[in-house]
Amino acid sequence: MVKAKIAPSLLSGDFAHLAEECERMLGLGADYLHMDVMDGHFVPNLTLGAPIIKSLRKHTTGFLDCHLMVSHPEQWVDDFADAGADLFCFHYEATKDPKALIQRIHNKGMKAGMAVKPNTPIDVVYPFAEELDQVLVMTVEPGFGGQAFMPECMDKVRDLRARFSQLDIEVDGGLAPDNIEIAAKAGANVIVAGSSIFKAKSPGDVISLFRKTIDEIETN
Question: How many whole angstroms separate alpha carbon 12 and alpha carbon 7?
Answer: 12
Query: Per the annotation, where are the binding residues for substrate?
Result: 9, 67, 143-146, 174, 194-195
CATH architecture of 5-219: Alpha-Beta Barrel (3.20)
**Cα–chain center distance at 168:** 10
Question: How many whole angstroms separate alpha carbon 172 and alpha carbon 164?
Answer: 19
Query: Per the annotation, where are the binding residues?
Result: 9, 34, 36, 67, 143-146, 172, 174, 194-195
Question: How many whole angstroms separate alpha carbon 190 and alpha carbon 135?
Answer: 9
Task: Give the pLDDT confidence score for residue 147 in this predicted structure.
Answer: 81
Task: Give the pLDDT confidence score for residue 125 in this predicted structure.
Answer: 98
Closest C-alpha to 69, from 99, 36, 98: 36
pLDDT digits (tens, 9 = 90+) for 141-164: 988 777 889 999 999 999 999 999
**Residue 31 annotated as catalytic:** no
Domain residue ranges in the chain: 5-219
Selecting among 31, 36, 65, 159, the annotated active-site residue is 36
> Which residues in the chain land under pLDDT 70?
none
pLDDT digits (tens, 9 = 90+) for 123-133: 999 999 999 99
User: pTM surpassing 0.85?
Assistant: yes
**Residue 36 annotated as catalytic:** yes
